[in-house]
Structure 1
Amino acid sequence: MLDNLHIRLFQTDWVTISPTWWNVKKLQRNYWRYYFNPIEGAVLEVEDLNHTGVFEKYPLKARQPYFIPAGVHFNSTIQVDIPHFFIHFDVIGIPSPAMRTLFNAPICLPRSERLVQTTWEVAQAVHTNKQLDKELDLYMQCQIKVVIYEGLALYLHSLPAEQLEHPLQLAIALKPVLPAIQYIDSNLEKPLLNRDLAQLCQMNEDYFIRRFKECVGQSPGSYIRDQRVKHAAQGLLFTENSLEQIATNSGFGSRFYFAKVFKEATGYSPAAYRKTSRV
């Protein structure tokens, strides 16, 4: 399942968050967050897994690393200004059904002085580069990925075997349609036809559509749409590409079709989504 696991970095920064900026309701993003605050005061209010509108308070402890996986619904609140280090990224290579099972809530990472020290050093280096108006070099990008990989390793190692069994079984169940999933995820900008995806899996088209839905829990068309929306959302937040470029890069036929599908999926127009908070 993890043979192709890698990290895609979007943004990292050391900032001071204030109540006017960080008190945000109903956040949900198609990217991961890594949070590390040197002092207490920040609180997440996390929605239950059934998305019923019930939120549980989740205070962020001082000098404690956290993951907030993609897709988690939460509010963020603080009462006073707080120093805040964050990394925005995506985890690539774990099939979506397994990902949703393994990572569906904020993760307070197991205590590791080595991870805390590395995070602190990276945060200070990011802050220094920002003051000097310097881009992060390849060494720093690797150090940031070290933080993420070590955090993932600590979390997965802490899980009991029975908790890992279900996502592993889901990943195994995906094997018949995995060539199609991998092709879709790597070629969103191209036309993706069921007959071509079926050929990759050595199936006829009708059987492929039925098998895909059994394995993934949604039709090929629905999965493709979701992945394109996710890709477009990341492009809106982390690039300066035009809406036309993002629509093309994500496989939407036109800017107008892109806007229609994106709003149906997220509740925002692409332009409005681009202006939303990136806490």
Structure 2
Amino acid sequence: MNEITNSVWNTGVPIRIDAIRTAQLYNVWGPCLLGGPYWRLYLHSAPGAGILIRRKHVEFLPGKIYLIPPHCSLGTWCDNPETRQFYLHFEMRQFGGAPGFLYHELECTSLLQELADRARNAEDLFRETAAVALAAAAVTELPREILTEFHRDHRMDRMIDFIHDRFRSPLSIEKMAAECGMGVNCFIRRFRECTGCTPYQYLTQVRYAAAARMLENDLLSIDEICAEVGIPDRFHFSRTFKRLYGHTPAAYRKAARTG
């Protein structure tokens, strides 16, 4: 099991890498709810796992790459204890999914496979560069009609970096709007145009994604993790975490570490 969380977010490469990981799926995907402000790229080692769309099982097959757009809210399933998953979470400033676009299947070409192999190799010097290249190459294979092109605004780009840097601290909508030199209503509207979600939704998703990574990898207690991600109310944290990830924090930690 390996993981990286980092950023590549500038005018040259408009992609932020949020997580790269290889994991055993059986305990983690049974079931959970996929969400978050990032794209998801999946490559499975064996059949027997996938997503739920209107209660229908959609199986992710080996030899294929699957892309899921941000804010997907899809359920998951896994019946095969042997299935391993390589996944990449990344954000794009330029594109989101068009209405009705839930997932897309791509052939795992030799180029995509090589980039995936390099991205999941913890010892590869160009691991994160390969991850950015993999994300870009996969998205360029998508049909144009299933993409939504976001507005570009350097103020929102800076705000996204601000949220990732400061999510552990108290952040109000008023404070974020002031950082951008904008009124609250104008800021919320512009942020949604540029990201597909509200600032509060984005902040919440960043905090809980960070909490999930801590549960997977750190020895901090759940109360300590709450404090680390800026959510002091343990009951609220546990309830929201279960809604987003399908498990309580304690059950998620156990499942992830077993996997």
Q: TM-score, normalised by structure 2?
A: 0.68
Cα distance in 2, alignment partners of residues 259 and 112 from structure 1: 41
2:33 match: 28
Structure 1 stretches lacking a partner, 5+ long: 127-135
User: Which residue in 2 is equivalent to 1:130?
Assistant: none
- What code does the residue aligned with 1:229 have? Y
**1:147-198 deviations in whole A, cap 9, x for unaligned?**
x44432332222334444x2x2x243x6664443432233210111222211
- Say if 1:212 and 1:230 are closer, same or farther in 2 by CA, change over 3 A: same
Paired amino acid for 1:188: F
Higher gyration radius (CA): 1
Is 1:43 aligned with 2:48?
Answer: yes
1:226 aligns with 2:205: yes
The structure with the greater share of residues assigned to strand is 2
1:159-238 equivalent positions in 2, closer than 5 A: 159-164=142-147, 166=148, 168=149, 170-172=150-152, 177-209=156-188, 211-212=190-191, 219-238=198-217
Q: Deviations over 1:31-58 (max 9, x none)?
A: 8453243xxx61334322xxx32x1442
**Measured at CA, do residues 201 and 247 of structure 1 come closer, stay the same or move farther in structure 2, by a change above 3 Å?**
same
CA contact (8 A) 2:44 2:86 kept: no
Question: How many residues are paired up?
Answer: 242
In the alignment, what sits opposite 1:132?
none
Quick one: which of 2, 12, 15 aligns to 1:5? 15
The alignment yields a C-alpha RMSD, in angstroms, of 4.1
2:232 paired residue among 250, 253, 256: 253
Distance 1:90 1:155, change over 3 A: closer
TM-score by length of 1: 0.64
State whether residues 191 and 198 of structure 2, in contact with CA within 8 Å, keep that contact through their aligned partners in structure 1.
yes
Identity %: 20
| Distance apart, 1:29 and its partner CA | 4.3
Amino acid at match of 1:108: E
Q: Tell me which amino acid in the other structure corresponds to 2:79.
A: T
2:31–2:246 contact (8 Å) kept in structure 1: no
Equivalent of 2:134 in 135, 146, 151: 151
Instruction: Give yes or no for contact 1:188–1:250 (8 Å, CA) kept in 2.
Output: yes
Partner residue in 2 for 1:77: 79
Aligned-partner residue type, residue 77 of structure 1: D
Residue 67 (structure 1) shift:
3.5
The alpha carbon displacement at 1:243 in A equals 1.6
1:91 aligns with 2:90: yes
Query: Per the alignment, in what secondary structure is the counterpart of residue 255 of structure 2?
Result: coil
Alpha-carbon distance, 1:100 to partner: 4.8
Aligned to 1:66: 65
Checking the alignment, whether the CA contact within 8 Å between 1:42 and 1:76 is kept in structure 2 is no
Q: 2: distance between equivalents of 1:236 and 1:226?
A: 15
Cα deviation code 1:71-112 (max 9, x no counterpart): 54221234xx75x553344214x25x9445499645433342
Question: Is the Cα contact below 8 Å between 2:211 and 2:226 reproduced in 1?
Answer: yes
Listed as ranges, the matches of 1:104-115 within 5 Å are 105-115=102-112
Local SS of the residue matching 1:237:
helix
Contact 2:22–2:84 (Cα < 8 Å) also in 1: yes
Aligned 8 A contact 1:33 1:86 in 2: no
Higher helix share goes to which structure? 1
Change (3 A) 1:88 1:120: closer
CA contact (8 A) 1:110 1:155 kept: no
